[in-house]
Chains A and B, each alone.
Chain A
Amino acid sequence: MQVLYFAWVRQKVGVSGEEVSPPPEVADVAGLVRWLSARSPGHAAAFANAGSIRAAVNQDFAAPDHRLSPGDEVAFFPPVTGG
């Protein structure tokens, strides 16, 4: 599973992306957030306030209960500020 980070989420995690293989019990976006948070202090800082993070799965916005598959591209980022 490819995980991508953008904006201050990327800065806190310290990398723009990583390949991860979460265990089968990580079933949805919220579960992946909990699992990623334990990977490093940077991850923990990035995900400390899950309410301020948005997610996309396979390049579509996704809710915390969105189910995940091993080949998914999952991205985490702050609320968007373009335009």
Chain B
Amino acid sequence: MTPRVRVQEAPFDLGAESAALTAGREDVGAVASFVGLCRADDGLAALALEHYPGMTERAIAGIVAEACARWPLSGCTVVHRVGRIRPGEPIVLVLTASAHRAAALESCAFLIDWLKTGAPFWKREEFADGRGERWVEAKAEDDAAAARWARAGAGDVAA
């Protein structure tokens, strides 16, 4: 199984990505998807997403490898956008394919929880009404969500 991992400015198409993940396959019984969208909280005009080229791909590959070690996946796609993203637009896509639903659903949740805490992306909020901009702060509940996947003997996927 070769995971598809991309970091890009362009939007992505959930349907096209899902179709590509299962094209020509007859062993996939379940595809789970997560799409993260940009919300217009507090009059947000746009998010500006920055990342660490090189480390980003390396970190995501490590998280995907951990998912593959834990669940029997037949396919996996991670697309994370960077640059300027407006409210309503997609930010991140996680797709997991497996023979059965539990592996697809659980691995999809694992991947997005770990992406939020273990991949080097940073969001800056831009406001239209003269309030300028501010960097989004990391949330303790995101750390807790990632920590619930910890297990004895598992290697750190994001230190």
- A residues near B (Cβ < 8 Å) are 4, 6-8, 56, 59-63, 75, 77-83
Q: Is B154 close to A, CB under 8 A?
A: no
- B residues near A (Cβ < 8 Å) are 36, 49-52, 54-55, 58-59, 80, 91-92, 112, 115-124, 135-138, 142, 158-159
Q: How far is the CA of A83 from the CA of B31 in the complex (A)?
A: 19
Contact of A77 among B112, B122, B159 (CB under 8 A): B122
Give chain A residues whose Cβ lies under 8 Å from the Cβ of B80: 82-83
Give chain B residues whose Cβ lies under 8 Å from the Cβ of A63: 159
Contact of B55 among A56, A79, A81, A83 (CB under 8 A): A56
Q: What does DSSP make chain B's interface, helix, strand, loop or mixed?
A: mixed
Contact B122–A82 (Cβ < 8 Å): yes
Contact A7–B50 (Cβ < 8 Å): yes
Q: Which residue of B lies closest to A59 (CB)?
A: B55
Query: A80 and B55 in contact (CB under 8 A), knowing A7-B124, A56-B120, A63-B159?
Result: no
